[in-house]
Structure 1
Amino acid sequence: MKNKLVTIMVIMLVAITLVGVIAVVVVTKFSGDASAQKEPSAKEIVESSVEIPEITTNLASGDFIKISFTIQTDSKKGKEELEQRGFQVKNIIITELSDTKTAQLKGKAGKEQFQEKVEANVNKLMQEGKVEKVYITSSILQ
């Protein structure tokens, strides 16, 4: 009687341990895939990006800037929508630039901050997709 009880307890402990190990492996496997996002290839970035031609406008400080952008979206549908909203994107850029001083655009930090502003404002417009990143492709500040 005692041997049967010990055997049943050992079998139950092994079964519980086995179920626990399997649960940990499954959770680790599935959560690892979800949290590690695959970076898009260069080809995928180009396929989902829109070029904004050079814009020349005045800054708040009285200087002027010639600047162009490439905007990366999250999908081809996002790219199509962004192409249709080109005039709105240009308006956002010109409006932001007209409120920006020359000193704010100098250096890496200033340009990155401006890119983030443009990204946030364009994302407010988007319905089909999302802007992933805004790249400044040329910039002449005078």
Structure 2
Amino acid sequence: MKNNKLIMTMLILLVAIALVGVVAIVMVLNHNGQDPNKEPTIDEVMEATVDIPEITTNLASDDFIRISFKIQTDSKKAKEELEKRSFQINNIIILELSEKTAETIKGKEGQQQLEEDLKVKTNELMQDGKVEKVYITQFLLQ
């Protein structure tokens, strides 16, 4: 009876030690020596960025806009997916702009809101990554 308790205790300790070892190995392998708080270099950003060429479309206020974007993704794989989805991205941009008036996107806050809206809508499509940031690179409102 005492022997069974001793064997059971040793087995429990062995399993616990093995479990801790496995967790430690997984954490070390996943970390890869990269600091998760480290900002990417500009070269890393450019490798994961997609250019959206100039789009000219009407706004809800009967004005029109010429606008282009750079969309930063979180990986090269996400960039490749975004490039394949360029027609869907153009559609999202045109639909979003068709709901805006010249007054709502004239200033800094309006443009930042447009960038955020496009980021959210684009992320809803993405399967192999996500959009980190949308940048307006050209803006002409008439």
TM-score by length of 1: 0.75
Q: Which residue is equivalent to 1:53? A: 53
Alignment of 1:27-66 (within 5 A): 37-66=37-66
Alignment of 1:13-24 (within 5 A): none
Q: Distance in 2 between matches of 1:105 and 1:98?
A: 12
Alignment of 1:57-136 (within 5 A): 57-136=57-136
Unaligned runs of 5+ in 1: 1-32
After superposition, the C-alpha distances for 1:15-44 in whole angstroms (9 at most, x for unaligned) are xxxxxxxxxxxxxxxxxx999611111000
Q: Which residue is equivalent to 1:141? A: 141
User: In the TM superposition, what is the alpha-carbon distance from 1:68 to its structure 2 partner?
Assistant: 0.1
Identity %: 59
Aligned-partner residue type, residue 116 of structure 2: E
Aligned-partner residue type, residue 87 of structure 1: F
TM-score by length of 2: 0.75
SS of aligned partner of 1:137: strand
After TM superposition, where is structure 1 displaced by more than 4 Å over at least 4 residues in a row?
33-36
Aligned residues: 110
User: In the TM superposition, what is the alpha-carbon distance from 1:128 to its structure 2 partner?
Assistant: 0.2
Aligned-residue CA RMSD (Å) = 1.5
Q: Distance in 2 between matches of 1:76 and 1:52?
A: 16
Of structures 1 and 2, the larger Rg is shown by 1
Unaligned runs of 5+ in 2: 1-32
SS of aligned partner of 2:137: strand
